[in-house]
A and B are shown apart, each in its own frame.
Chain A
């Protein structure tokens, strides 16, 4: 009994320290986003008053507004296109038999073995030859088409576990195949579909190197590229404004996670068993 109390004490101590150090970085972002350069010089790590909200307005005017718009357009298009396509593809593989099924599915499985670094140079040239450089399509198309093998595989596994009786019953009631997809498959798989969509949004929102390569014009850049280049610039804005921009950059992610947190944790937990 005494042993387990000692264990519990140390468990909490370690957890609070480790998680605290991680959360401290998030807190630091918030604290620094309200500081002027004078406050940064005297007391950079602890909260200082007054909190300079105007940092946020300045960051917004400095380009974050445009970057935010660009990021939203690209990320939302990618999530809708990629997830929609993955759901349809996974559904076809999970619930139908047709000639060549195994061959096509193996080709999708094999995609997992093609690392992004191998295709980076030719993909850039492909996008250039399609005259898509410096358009949002250069970012959206490669992410929507051909980059959803993982989503397809995870969803197909889940869709195949749905009971056939449900489909049988619906078919007897005269349900069309679209109904089977829209009324049975998708509602029963909402947790796994939304966690895949959240992962996809997260990936698209964070993507840094590809948009840097294919978008050279500042007015087209997403937040990731815009913010990082802003902070590495020789006449970079002061740290407080950079951090204010960083906080603004996190807001869409916060919204996405508030909506999908439950589904994300559930989806990940059920998906994890099959790893």
Chain B
């Protein structure tokens, strides 16, 4: 790879319409660029597009990973006979609603930090919020498994305040799902707080001053000026949260194995079990395809919404 070949690259500063040369010649001139893109393109096809297409294909087959035969939409019809899967969609719906509601905590935290006059204190709070990021997520699985156990942190705290609690939070059908949601309390994620904070900081002072002259303060100012101005960030976090939550099955897998019974089953986990325990690769693919369609439709809808609000 010499500088000689590199200097034959097309110049970046010449607009494309001015280069009146044959297409083939331009392709030949750009050969070095294609070479640079080649690893990304091959990787993208091999590890993303090919598996994605194979998942669609597999969802119409009875497939054990080696042999497959076509069975039409049977895998999709099978959904209706799978109470575990139907239940799991109800559970994931609850997780999705909870995820949106819990965004109010980072929103509140970001807003309060933004409203604090002292820039030193603002900086201090930002640092304090970022500190827990150094603890890897899987460590919180270990920690919260203990917190929820019979003689774990939550029961110890309840006993200290006089409630004689002997609940095994993750082992009880009434409490397991709620416990998985409670995990991570008070749900402030540094990434989300920083994004919201950055949004608040871009609200122009002129608008705030003008509003103050008009007598808008406190709640009015938050509700009519500051909140609408970060609606873009909120939408992005809602949609990212949605995409993450609907696919996630790490918590149920490692905290409850989807139990007790099937009370904490989610579609991703049902897919994982179909794949790892039942060797039903076609059925697992069908669940993956359904989740993909839900994500796809929602993302499109969201983009429509964002575009609509900008017009």
Residues of A near any B CB (own CB < 8 A): 3, 7-8, 11-12, 14-15, 18-19, 21-23, 25-26, 28-29, 32, 41, 44-45, 85, 88-89, 92, 95-100, 104, 107-108, 111, 113-126, 128, 141-142, 144-149, 152, 164, 167-168, 171, 176-178, 202, 205-206, 208-209, 213, 223-224, 227-228, 231-232, 239, 242-243, 246, 249-250, 253-254, 257, 261, 264-265, 268-269, 272-273, 275
Contact = CB atoms under 8 A, between A and B. Distances in A.
Main secondary structure of the interface of B (DSSP, over half): helix
A240 B254 CA distance: 20
Nearest to A176: B3
B108 interface: yes
Contacts, number: 276
A115 B198 contact: no
B10 A96 contact: yes
A269 B193 CA distance: 11
Nearest to A226: B138
Given A92-B37, A104-B37, A117 B291 contact: yes
Interface residues of B, number: 105
Interface of B: 3, 6-7, 9-16, 23, 26-27, 29-30, 33-34, 36-37, 39-52, 54-55, 58, 65, 105, 108-109, 112-113, 115-117, 125-126, 128-143, 145-146, 151-153, 156-157, 185-186, 188, 191, 194-195, 198-199, 202, 218, 232-233, 236, 243, 247, 249-250, 253-254, 268, 271-272, 275-276, 281, 284-285, 288-289, 291-292, 295-296, 299
B33 A231 contact: no
Contact of B46 (A28, A146, A168): A146
Given A18-B186, A224-B136, A122 B55 contact: yes
Given A113-B296, A114-B48, A145-B39, A167 B27 contact: no
A168 B13 contact: yes
A104 B48 contact: no
Contact of A25 (B30, B55, B132, B232): B132
Of B34, B39, B51, B139, most buried by chain A (CB within 10 Å of CB) is: B139
18 contacts: A11-B112, A12-B116, A45-B153, A45-B157, A97-B16, A98-B30, A107-B49, A111-B44, A114-B52, A117-B268, A118-B289, A122-B50, A126-B46, A176-B3, A242-B146, A246-B142, A249-B139, A257-B133
Main secondary structure of the interface of A (DSSP, over half): helix
A65 to B, nearest CB: 17
Given A11-B115, A113-B296, A239 B146 contact: yes
Of A88, A95, A164, A176, most buried by chain B (CB within 10 Å of CB) is: A176
A212 B254 CA distance: 11
Of A118, A148, A224, A257, most buried by chain B (CB within 10 Å of CB) is: A118
